[in-house]
């Protein structure tokens, strides 16, 4: 619900580690553009053990929270309810405090991925490849459930990860085929490649980028560009960055927490770009 511009309202991002988070930059830029002069957005180092105590101390001035690792699943028992989107991957990255005192969880990573791809002209895709099998990969699968009409090939390092991706595919009703990480260079020929791995993991694949690459969605944003993304761009392929994802999911958070829509996408993006450029 929309709050008055001068009402003191609070929001924050929680996680561990959290010092690197760009969320305060993005949300504060949104507040400034929307004229929400009474709003503040902070970051707090909070791990799973400290999360219940943090929640217990929150007052009525709180409008919402952004959550990063390792809290996206740990927060669920503390909430009064979660959205279908969050339930689909057992992960909450957004908590909104309603006027009647309820704490409601959502996941804006999934629609944020879809929006970032749509901004780059991808509204439907016949098949896709995912590099990695962690928590971000499950969100990628959930996003692909909305736009991919065919098979998704997941390149993983272990049978345990393979089993997890098969389970997510069944749960999300996505046709998932598992491939060994040793064959990850084959992924680069897919119509859409989503890289969900930590920094440095895909560097060795840069040399295997095809002469006419399609679209790469690399969820990293710092350092940027990754070696894979740089090579992809050099060969003329389209690249969707982790900053694209971060901004689009933050736009949805701002809209839910403030009740103002649309959130100022470009102001938030420019603020993120400036912060990254400044190091």
The helix (run of H) or strand (run of E) holding residue 249 is helix 242-258
The residue with tokens 């069944």 is 170
Q: Is the Cβ–Cβ distance between 239 and 192 less than 8 Å? A: no
List 10, 28, 72, 260, catalytic entry: 72
Whether 14 contacts 65, CB under 8 Å: yes
Q: Is 205 a catalytic residue?
A: no
β-bridge partners, 42:
12
Q: What angle do CA 121, 257, 52 make, to 5 degrees?
A: 115
- State how far the Cα of 34 lies from the Cα of 42, in Å rounded to an integer: 18
Q: How many CB atoms lie within 10 A of CB 67?
A: 24
Just list the catalytic residues: 72
């Amino acid at each position: 619900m929309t709050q008055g511009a001068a009402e003191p309202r609070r929001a924050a991002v929680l996680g561990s580690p959290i010092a690197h988070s760009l969320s305060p930059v993005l949300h504060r830029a949104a507040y400034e553009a929307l004229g929400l002069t009474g709003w503040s957005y902070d970051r707090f180092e909070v791990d799973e053990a400290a999360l219940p105590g943090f929640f217990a101390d929150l007052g009525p001035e709180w409008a919402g929270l952004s959550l990063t690792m390792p809290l996206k699943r740990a927060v669920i028992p503390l909430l009064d309810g979660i959205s279908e989107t969050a339930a689909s991957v057992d992960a909450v990255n957004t908590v909104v405090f309603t006027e009647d005192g309820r704490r409601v969880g959502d996941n804006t990573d999934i629609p944020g991925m879809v929006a970032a791809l749509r901004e780059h002209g991808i509204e439907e895709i016949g098949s896709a490849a995912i590099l990695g099998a962690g928590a971000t990969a499950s969100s990628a699968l959930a996003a692909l459930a909305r736009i991919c009409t065919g098979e998704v090939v997941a390149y993983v390092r272990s049978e345990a990860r393979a089993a997890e991706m098969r389970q997510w595919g069944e749960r999300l009703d996505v046709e998932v085929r598992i491939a060994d990480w040793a064959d990850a260079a084959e992924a680069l020929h897919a119509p859409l490649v989503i890289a969900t791995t930590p920094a440095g993991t895909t560097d060795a694949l840069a040399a295997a980028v095809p002469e006419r690459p399609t679209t790469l969605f690399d969820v990293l944003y710092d350092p940027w560009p990754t070696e894979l993304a740089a090579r992809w761009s050099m060969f003329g392929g389209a690249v969707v960055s982790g900053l694209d994802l971060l901004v689009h999911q933050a736009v949805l958070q701002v809209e839910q927490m403030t009740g103002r829509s649309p959130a100022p996408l470009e102001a938030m993006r420019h603020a993120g770009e400036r912060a990254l450029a400044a190091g």
